[in-house]
Amino acid sequence: MSNNKIIHWFKYGSPQSFYPLAGKMIPWFWVLATIFFVIGLYISFFLAPTDFQQGEGYRIIFIHVPAAWMSMFIYLVMAFWAGLGLALNTRLSSMMAQALAPTGAIMAFLSLWTGALWGKPMWGAWWVWDARLTSALILFFLYIGFIALQAAIDDARRADKAGAILALVGVVNVPIIYFSVKWWNTLHQGASVSLTKAPSMAAIMLWGMLIMALAFWMYSIAVALTRVRAIILEREAHTEWVKELPEVKQ
Protein backbone atom coordinates (compact mmCIF):
# COMPACT_ATOMS: atom_id res chain seq x y z
CA MET A 1 0.00 0.00 0.00
CA SER A 2 2.61 2.48 1.11
CA ASN A 3 4.78 1.28 -1.72
CA ASN A 4 2.15 2.43 -4.19
CA LYS A 5 2.13 5.89 -2.68
CA ILE A 6 5.86 6.26 -3.05
CA ILE A 7 5.66 5.35 -6.72
CA HIS A 8 2.75 7.70 -7.09
CA TRP A 9 4.77 10.62 -5.75
CA PHE A 10 7.93 9.90 -7.66
CA LYS A 11 5.85 9.85 -10.80
CA TYR A 12 5.77 13.65 -10.65
CA GLY A 13 9.54 13.74 -10.49
CA SER A 14 9.63 13.32 -14.25
CA PRO A 15 9.16 16.46 -16.34
CA GLN A 16 6.68 14.66 -18.58
CA SER A 17 4.11 14.05 -15.83
CA PHE A 18 4.91 17.21 -13.90
CA TYR A 19 4.30 19.50 -16.86
CA PRO A 20 0.51 18.95 -17.04
CA LEU A 21 0.23 18.81 -13.23
CA ALA A 22 1.93 22.21 -12.95
CA GLY A 23 -0.37 23.51 -15.66
CA LYS A 24 -3.39 22.45 -13.59
CA MET A 25 -2.00 23.93 -10.35
CA ILE A 26 -0.97 27.34 -11.69
CA PRO A 27 -4.50 28.85 -11.97
CA TRP A 28 -5.28 27.80 -8.40
CA PHE A 29 -2.20 29.52 -7.06
CA TRP A 30 -3.08 32.63 -9.03
CA VAL A 31 -6.59 32.56 -7.54
CA LEU A 32 -5.17 32.17 -4.02
CA ALA A 33 -2.62 34.92 -4.65
CA THR A 34 -5.33 37.29 -5.89
CA ILE A 35 -7.61 36.58 -2.92
CA PHE A 36 -4.79 37.12 -0.43
CA PHE A 37 -3.61 40.25 -2.23
CA VAL A 38 -7.10 41.76 -2.17
CA ILE A 39 -7.63 40.98 1.52
CA GLY A 40 -4.07 41.95 2.44
CA LEU A 41 -4.15 45.25 0.56
CA TYR A 42 -7.58 46.06 1.99
CA ILE A 43 -6.27 45.50 5.52
CA SER A 44 -3.08 47.41 4.87
CA PHE A 45 -4.74 50.45 3.30
CA PHE A 46 -8.12 50.69 5.04
CA LEU A 47 -8.19 48.66 8.25
CA ALA A 48 -4.69 49.16 9.63
CA PRO A 49 -4.58 52.38 11.66
CA THR A 50 -2.15 55.18 10.97
CA ASP A 51 1.01 54.69 12.99
CA PHE A 52 1.37 57.43 15.58
CA GLN A 53 5.14 57.66 15.06
CA GLN A 54 5.60 56.90 11.40
CA GLY A 55 2.36 58.25 9.94
CA GLU A 56 1.11 56.74 6.70
CA GLY A 57 4.59 55.99 5.44
CA TYR A 58 4.84 52.81 7.47
CA ARG A 59 2.32 51.09 5.17
CA ILE A 60 5.13 50.15 2.83
CA ILE A 61 6.10 47.41 5.31
CA PHE A 62 3.12 45.43 4.01
CA ILE A 63 5.12 45.00 0.81
CA HIS A 64 8.60 45.28 2.27
CA VAL A 65 8.49 42.64 5.01
CA PRO A 66 6.81 39.90 2.91
CA ALA A 67 9.29 40.55 0.09
CA ALA A 68 12.22 40.30 2.51
CA TRP A 69 10.84 37.09 4.02
CA MET A 70 10.28 35.57 0.61
CA SER A 71 13.75 36.52 -0.61
CA MET A 72 15.30 34.53 2.25
CA PHE A 73 12.81 31.67 2.10
CA ILE A 74 13.14 31.24 -1.68
CA TYR A 75 16.93 30.98 -1.33
CA LEU A 76 16.48 28.07 1.09
CA VAL A 77 13.91 26.38 -1.16
CA MET A 78 16.13 26.95 -4.19
CA ALA A 79 19.13 25.45 -2.41
CA PHE A 80 16.97 22.52 -1.28
CA TRP A 81 15.90 21.72 -4.85
CA ALA A 82 19.39 22.29 -6.18
CA GLY A 83 20.85 19.98 -3.54
CA LEU A 84 18.21 17.36 -4.26
CA GLY A 85 18.99 17.60 -7.94
CA LEU A 86 22.68 17.14 -7.22
CA ALA A 87 22.17 14.23 -4.84
CA LEU A 88 19.48 12.26 -6.68
CA ASN A 89 20.36 13.44 -10.18
CA THR A 90 16.75 14.40 -10.87
CA ARG A 91 16.39 16.85 -13.69
CA LEU A 92 13.16 18.38 -12.47
CA SER A 93 14.63 19.43 -9.10
CA SER A 94 17.37 21.38 -10.84
CA MET A 95 14.84 22.97 -13.19
CA MET A 96 12.84 24.00 -10.13
CA ALA A 97 15.92 25.64 -8.60
CA GLN A 98 16.60 27.46 -11.85
CA ALA A 99 12.98 28.63 -12.02
CA LEU A 100 13.03 29.95 -8.46
CA ALA A 101 16.19 32.05 -8.76
CA PRO A 102 14.79 35.02 -10.72
CA THR A 103 11.76 35.27 -8.41
CA GLY A 104 14.06 35.24 -5.39
CA ALA A 105 16.24 37.91 -6.92
CA ILE A 106 13.20 40.07 -7.64
CA MET A 107 12.02 39.66 -4.04
CA ALA A 108 15.46 40.64 -2.73
CA PHE A 109 15.50 43.67 -5.03
CA LEU A 110 11.96 44.60 -4.04
CA SER A 111 12.81 44.44 -0.36
CA LEU A 112 15.86 46.67 -0.92
CA TRP A 113 13.90 49.13 -3.04
CA THR A 114 10.94 49.42 -0.69
CA GLY A 115 13.37 49.58 2.21
CA ALA A 116 15.00 52.60 0.62
CA LEU A 117 11.62 54.23 0.03
CA TRP A 118 10.73 53.62 3.67
CA GLY A 119 14.12 54.71 4.96
CA LYS A 120 14.06 58.16 3.36
CA PRO A 121 11.10 59.57 5.35
CA MET A 122 11.85 57.52 8.52
CA TRP A 123 15.61 57.69 8.84
CA GLY A 124 16.20 60.63 6.51
CA ALA A 125 18.44 58.52 4.28
CA TRP A 126 17.84 56.26 1.31
CA TRP A 127 20.40 53.84 2.57
CA VAL A 128 22.12 53.15 5.87
CA TRP A 129 24.73 50.47 6.39
CA ASP A 130 22.47 48.59 8.72
CA ALA A 131 23.07 44.87 9.24
CA ARG A 132 19.78 43.86 7.64
CA LEU A 133 20.16 46.09 4.63
CA THR A 134 23.71 45.01 3.99
CA SER A 135 22.98 41.31 4.32
CA ALA A 136 19.92 41.69 2.06
CA LEU A 137 22.19 43.35 -0.51
CA ILE A 138 24.65 40.46 -0.30
CA LEU A 139 21.79 37.97 -0.64
CA PHE A 140 20.80 39.81 -3.82
CA PHE A 141 24.39 39.42 -5.09
CA LEU A 142 24.26 35.69 -4.32
CA TYR A 143 21.11 35.35 -6.42
CA ILE A 144 22.71 37.28 -9.28
CA GLY A 145 25.79 35.06 -9.06
CA PHE A 146 23.65 31.92 -9.24
CA ILE A 147 21.71 33.20 -12.25
CA ALA A 148 24.88 34.41 -13.99
CA LEU A 149 26.68 31.10 -13.46
CA GLN A 150 23.77 29.11 -14.87
CA ALA A 151 23.47 31.47 -17.81
CA ALA A 152 27.18 31.23 -18.60
CA ILE A 153 27.26 27.43 -18.91
CA ASP A 154 25.78 26.12 -22.14
CA ASP A 155 25.44 22.49 -21.12
CA ALA A 156 22.22 22.40 -19.07
CA ARG A 157 23.22 19.47 -16.86
CA ARG A 158 26.56 21.02 -16.00
CA ALA A 159 24.84 24.34 -15.32
CA ASP A 160 22.47 22.55 -12.93
CA LYS A 161 25.23 20.89 -10.98
CA ALA A 162 27.54 23.89 -10.84
CA GLY A 163 24.63 26.05 -9.74
CA ALA A 164 23.73 23.49 -7.08
CA ILE A 165 27.20 23.61 -5.57
CA LEU A 166 27.10 27.40 -5.58
CA ALA A 167 23.67 27.45 -3.95
CA LEU A 168 24.79 25.01 -1.25
CA VAL A 169 27.97 26.99 -0.56
CA GLY A 170 25.76 30.08 -0.39
CA VAL A 171 23.39 28.45 2.10
CA VAL A 172 26.29 27.62 4.42
CA ASN A 173 27.51 31.18 4.03
CA VAL A 174 24.26 33.08 4.48
CA PRO A 175 24.15 32.76 8.30
CA ILE A 176 27.89 33.48 8.54
CA ILE A 177 27.47 36.57 6.39
CA TYR A 178 24.44 37.67 8.37
CA PHE A 179 26.17 37.43 11.73
CA SER A 180 29.42 38.93 10.51
CA VAL A 181 27.54 41.90 9.09
CA LYS A 182 25.59 42.22 12.32
CA TRP A 183 28.74 42.28 14.46
CA TRP A 184 30.44 44.62 12.01
CA ASN A 185 27.50 46.96 12.40
CA THR A 186 27.55 46.93 16.21
CA LEU A 187 31.30 47.52 16.22
CA HIS A 188 30.95 50.57 14.01
CA GLN A 189 28.07 51.98 16.04
CA GLY A 190 26.34 52.73 12.77
CA ALA A 191 22.61 53.17 12.40
CA SER A 192 20.96 52.93 15.78
CA VAL A 193 17.49 52.74 14.27
CA SER A 194 16.14 49.25 14.14
CA LEU A 195 12.80 47.68 13.46
CA THR A 196 13.11 45.50 16.53
CA LYS A 197 13.13 48.51 18.82
CA ALA A 198 9.91 49.86 17.38
CA PRO A 199 6.87 49.52 19.62
CA SER A 200 5.13 46.20 19.13
CA MET A 201 2.68 46.55 16.32
CA ALA A 202 -1.07 46.35 16.50
CA ALA A 203 -2.62 42.95 15.84
CA ILE A 204 -4.36 44.15 12.68
CA MET A 205 -1.03 45.28 11.19
CA LEU A 206 0.47 41.87 11.93
CA TRP A 207 -2.47 40.18 10.23
CA GLY A 208 -2.13 42.40 7.21
CA MET A 209 1.54 41.53 6.99
CA LEU A 210 0.93 37.79 7.35
CA ILE A 211 -1.79 37.78 4.69
CA MET A 212 0.40 39.79 2.36
CA ALA A 213 3.19 37.27 3.01
CA LEU A 214 0.79 34.47 2.00
CA ALA A 215 -0.11 36.43 -1.13
CA PHE A 216 3.58 36.80 -2.01
CA TRP A 217 4.11 33.13 -1.32
CA MET A 218 1.27 32.02 -3.63
CA TYR A 219 2.45 34.48 -6.28
CA SER A 220 5.99 33.07 -6.08
CA ILE A 221 4.73 29.50 -6.48
CA ALA A 222 2.55 30.44 -9.44
CA VAL A 223 5.36 32.30 -11.18
CA ALA A 224 7.94 29.60 -10.44
CA LEU A 225 5.65 26.88 -11.80
CA THR A 226 5.00 28.90 -14.94
CA ARG A 227 8.72 29.36 -15.38
CA VAL A 228 9.50 25.71 -14.72
CA ARG A 229 7.00 24.76 -17.42
CA ALA A 230 8.82 27.00 -19.86
CA ILE A 231 12.15 25.46 -18.84
CA ILE A 232 10.73 21.93 -19.29
CA LEU A 233 9.54 22.81 -22.80
CA GLU A 234 12.90 24.32 -23.66
CA ARG A 235 14.99 21.43 -22.36
CA GLU A 236 12.73 18.59 -23.45
CA ALA A 237 12.05 20.09 -26.88
CA HIS A 238 13.65 17.05 -28.54
CA THR A 239 11.29 14.52 -26.89
CA GLU A 240 8.19 12.98 -28.42
CA TRP A 241 5.81 13.96 -25.67
CA VAL A 242 6.65 17.65 -26.02
CA LYS A 243 6.07 17.44 -29.77
CA GLU A 244 2.69 15.83 -29.08
CA LEU A 245 1.52 18.70 -26.82
CA PRO A 246 -1.35 20.69 -28.33
CA GLU A 247 0.28 24.04 -27.51
CA VAL A 248 3.49 22.96 -29.26
CA LYS A 249 1.77 21.39 -32.28
CA GLN A 250 0.10 24.60 -33.41
* Smallest separation, CB 85 to another protein (Å): 12
Q: How far is the CB of 96 from another protein (least distance, A)?
A: 19
Please state, as a whole number, how many other Cβ atoms lie within 10 Å of the Cβ of residue 118.
Answer: 20
Closest CA to 45 of 58, 64, 34: 58
Number of residues that bind another protein (CB under 8 A): 28
How many whole angstroms separate alpha carbon 146 and alpha carbon 64?
23
For position 10 contacting another protein by CB under 8 A, the verdict is no
Binders of another protein among 157-176, rule CB under 8 A? 157-158, 161-162, 165-166, 168-170, 172-173, 176
Residue 100 to residue 119: CA distance in whole angstroms: 28
Residue closer to another protein (CB basis): 31 or 172: 172
Residues in region 83-142 near another protein by CB under 8 A: 138, 141-142
Minimum distance from CB of 167 to another protein (Å)? Answer: 11
Q: Please write down the long-range contacts of 13-16, taking CB distance under 8 Å and 24 or more positions apart.
A: 13/90, 13/92, 13/93, 14/92, 15/91, 15/92, 15/95, 15/232, 15/235, 15/236, 16/236, 16/239, 16/241
Residues binding another protein (CB under 8 A)? 138, 141-142, 144-145, 148-149, 152-154, 157-158, 161-162, 165-166, 168-170, 172-173, 176-177, 180-181, 183-184, 187
